[in-house]
Amino acid sequence: MNKKMKKWKEKFVNQMKKIRTEHLVKKFVKNNLLFLTFVLTCLLNSTLLRFFTMPTIENYLSFKPILADLGVVILLGSFAYLFKNKNRFTYLLVLNIFFTLICIINSIYYTFYTSFASASMLSLAQFIAPVGDAVVENVLQLKDLVYVIGPLILVFVHFKLKKRHYYRIEDTKNERKKKSLHGVITAVIILACFTLSLSSLEVGRFIKQWNREYIVMRFGIYLYQLNDVFVSLQPKINSIFGYDQAKKNFEEYFENNKKEHESNKYTGIFEGKNVIVIHGESIQDIALFRTFNGQEVTPNINRLAKEGMFFENYFSEVSVGTSSDTELTFNTSLMPTKSGTAFVSYFDRVYNSIPKYFKEKGYYTFSMHANNADFWNRRAMHNSLGYDKFYSKETYEVKEEDVIGLGLSDKSFFAQSVEKIKKIKEEKGTPFYGLLISLTNHTPFSDVEKYDPFDVSIKETVTKEDGTTEEVIHPYMEGTKLGNYFKSLHYADAALGEFLSALDENGLLENTVFILYGDHDARLPKSDYIRLNNYDTATDSVKDSSDPTYQEYNSYHYELDRKVPFIIWTKDNLVSGRVSDTMGMIDAMPTLGNMFGFENPYALGHDIFSIKDNNVVVFPNGNWVSNKVYYNSQKGEYMSLKDEEVISEDYIEQNNEYAEKLLDVSNDIIVFDLLNKNKEKEEKK
């Protein structure tokens, strides 16, 4: 009997404890409902952002970023308890909206750049307005607005609580401090647990912040953004305090990577010749040699590629500066800066550039672009790069009927440019080096009615039962963003063809090297590429992945398809053929330098004809590609490009180390103006 009583007593006590615990939990939830709503909605938004931008199993199952985001949200939200009831909601709402904006901005930014936004972009805000329509039309999606639900739920809960007179009971000042302190302690414990779970590799990458996708996947969006603010200010701090270490790393890098000039069959082949370079807006290899109903998308570029030298595995290496980053890398063989963009933040540095080397050889150098001279701060930066003159929008006649997209159409731009080049040749009497930056083929590719007619449907002749035939039209790429891109590029290609004809008619192709490169990819949705490769005419839709003819198209294929063309052409066919070795924008300067007879000792790229298949192209986010492998540093995964070859871990690790050092030294060269300091040192000797 005693044993039974004891058992019942224990059972009763345990039940009472359970009831008391449940009561305390319910009481806590009831008394902190607004705060808990704030925490949960902010956490939900950050989790959705990660899931939408990086839909991988690793990301779905990762608990670390949830822990990090939770700690940050609770920490900042806890200060709401210091306010009286009437102001507490206002504080939480403002903070909730702030976190929501972080998610929305990063969601939009990721769609366009496949990376996360940086505080350093604030300095670039003036350059976003002119392409605002492009962002809305070509990038903004429904998923980018789903985060607005967070603040709306918070407002809804607030008014529900207000109706129930939830705010009538006011906490004392001491009670408010106590609640706030409890929240801060909870947040600290959560963040401490999170910190203890980190590996040294994760901590190292967080501090350097050059692989944003990796950081968000492990540290969450809020902690990433807080750290990014510090990292964005770091260049200003480092330029004062970090010079000695940067200089040491710079000297060690070039001491360990000395390049002995190797002559090859292309050495000096173009010395003394005029140069015309076309910076082709958003031209991608995927459009080259592509036909619709027997019509080529880019017949003129195709001709240049067939007749001249075509580098078929050439990659752009841009960051947030897009076109301006390409100009920097092409002209200086340096990578974009980790924070902001060199054209805006570091235009006053000394650069070893292609125009400067041509000036040393007696050339007249110029650049032409029918856009505002201050867009991407080109007016100042083109002077720093060594152009004798920049022909900007103010030097062109811009008629309303000649405007397409962001400004003067390519056809009008090239036609007017021919006259300017003629005048330069007549007046200067020296060889010239000229860069022409096109504009029409810029996102959002929406002025379809102004482009030359080009059909991206599929037309087929069908025989009917009675023996007669009829033409059936399948929409295919009509109405898609990629389809409109093909239409836009067809127009840009036609403008290029007219330009070449006008140059030839005026004798400007004689003794001239014509160079064309695409500045970066068109930032189009992967779904359009899947449709391009897997269109079913029978259903006017994308084939099911179970279809035996379905072509797999994953994120690796998408990233590799972002290649851009690089073509060197002369009227007398001095060079020709395809170069298949992997090459980046950073390799253009050393390759051209070998051909024209100049050398930049601080170029970070390579002459492709010297390095050949040993080249490794590094991207600003830490990814890299070689002839053997495409490596994604965010995922820590790679795709072999040669099925028969076994890739060793040593090969991956060696190239990861190379990529990290290259990005570091390139950034230091620009931020600390090391080329200028080094030049001053050499002049004193």
Q: Which of 71-85, 279-293, 481-495 has the lowest mean pLDDT?
A: 71-85
**Inside any domain, residue 5:** no
- Cα-based distances in Å from 518 to 16, 135, 168, 319, 385: 73, 21, 65, 15, 20
Which residue range is the domain that position 85 belongs to? 24-241
Contact indicator for 197, 74 with CB cutoff of 8 Å: no
State residue 239's pLDDT score.
62
**Inside any domain, residue 519:** yes
Average pLDDT over residues 204-215: 76
Length in residues, the chain: 685
Same domain, 125 and 267: no
Cis link prior to 444 (omega < 30° from 0)?
yes
**Tokens standing for residue 98:** 């702030």
pLDDT at 10 over 70: no
The whole-chain average pLDDT of the chain stands at: 89
Same domain, 201 and 270: no
Q: Which of 53-62, 220-229, 366-375 has the lowest mean pLDDT?
A: 53-62
Task: Give the whole-angstrom CA distance, residue 659 versus residue 209.
Answer: 14
Q: How confident is the model at residue 175 (pLDDT cuts 50, 70, 90)?
A: confident
pLDDT at 134 over 60: no
In the listed set 241, 258, 283, which residue is the last one of a domain according to the structure? 241
Q: How confident is the model at residue 16 (pLDDT cuts 50, 70, 90)?
A: very low
Residue 493's φ and ψ, nearest 5 degrees, are -65, -40
pLDDT at 185 over 70: yes
**Inside any domain, residue 261:** yes
Average pLDDT over residues 671-680: 81
**How crowded is residue 669: how many other Cβ atoms within 10 Å of its Cβ?**
29
Average pLDDT over residues 645-674: 94
State residue 123's pLDDT score.
58
Query: What DSSP line would sit under 91-148, residue for residue?
Result: HHHHHHHHHHHHHHHHHHHHHHHSS---GGGGGGHHHHGGGHHHHHHHT--GGGGGGG
**Inside any domain, residue 327:** yes
pLDDT at 210 over 90: no
Average pLDDT over residues 150-177: 84
Percent of the chain surpassing pLDDT 90: 67
153-163 pLDDT tens trace: 999 998 888 88
Instruction: Count the helices and strands in the chain (H runs, E runs).
Output: 25, 22
pLDDT at 132 over 60: no
pLDDT at 107 over 80: yes
**How crowded is residue 266: how many other Cβ atoms within 10 Å of its Cβ?**
19
Contact indicator for 50, 20 with CB cutoff of 8 Å: no
**Inside any domain, residue 10:** no
Would you call 674 exposed, middle or buried from its count of C-beta atoms within 10 A (0-12, 13-18, 19+)?
Answer: buried
pLDDT at 4 over 90: no
Same domain, 568 and 643: yes
Return the higher-pLDDT residue of 168 and 655.
655
pLDDT at 493 over 80: yes
State residue 301's pLDDT score.
98
pLDDT at 19 over 50: no
pLDDT at 183 over 60: yes
pLDDT at 1 over 60: no
pLDDT at 166 over 80: no
Same domain, 225 and 255: no
Same domain, 70 and 171: yes
- Cα-based distances in Å from 680 to 250, 385, 685: 15, 18, 9
* H/E segment holding residue 329: helix 322-332
- Cα-based distances in Å from 153 to 40, 244, 536: 10, 52, 43
State residue 370's pLDDT score.
96
Same domain, 637 and 599: yes
State residue 126's pLDDT score.
57
Same domain, 257 and 340: yes
582-634 pLDDT tens trace: 999 999 999 999 999 999 999 999 999 999 999 999 999 899 999 999 999 87
Tally of CA atoms within 13 A in the half-sphere of 210 that contains its CB: 23
Among candidate residues 277, 330, 327, 321, the one with its CA nearest the CA of residue 585: 330
Same domain, 262 and 170: no
Residue 570's φ and ψ, nearest 5 degrees, are -130, 150
Same domain, 210 and 257: no
**Inside any domain, residue 606:** yes
Percent of the chain surpassing pLDDT 70: 89
Same domain, 196 and 301: no
In the listed set 189, 210, 241, which residue is the last one of a domain according to the structure? 241
320-351 pLDDT tens trace: 888 999 999 999 999 999 887 899 889 999 99
Average pLDDT over residues 280-295: 97
In the listed set 211, 241, 271, which residue is the last one of a domain according to the structure? 241
